[in-house]
Amino acid sequence: MKLMTVSALAGFILGISAIEAGAAGRNCPAPGSARSIEGKVKVTLQIANSSNRAAKIYWLDYQGVRQFYKELAPGQGYMQPSFMTHPWIAVDPKGDCIDGVMRPYQPGENIMEFFGD
């Protein structure tokens, strides 16, 4: 199942690449518009890269700032502990978010598969 909401993200942090810092990219959330809130209900995310490009997986923290977790090659996936109210994004090498913001939708295990060319 694919979950998403979409908008634009911008920002730059000294000494860090624009992509790592959360620079503008297609399908990315505007700064602070997607952020984590309280972590009470635990979930497990099965994150799967079904696109044909590499992707970096980021958690959006309590201020909406990207926190890098993992890089996935096309066809790779992994299990990520998280919480119901914590959004995640997958960012391609150009800095675009693949399928917008991914959010858990139920307690327990959630499948977050992203697609794209």
Give the CATH number for residue 92.
2.60.40.780
Please report, in angstroms and rounded to a whole number, the separation of the first and last CA atoms in the chain.
18
The strand order across the sheet containing 97-102 reads: 66-72, 55-60, 88-91, 97-102
pTM: 0.78
**Tokens found for residue 89:** 């994004």
The reply to whether 26 falls in a domain is yes
The reply to whether 24 falls in a domain is yes
For 45-85, write each residue's pLDDT tens digit: 999 999 999 999 999 999 999 999 999 999 999 999 999 99
- Its domain, for residue 76, covers 18-114
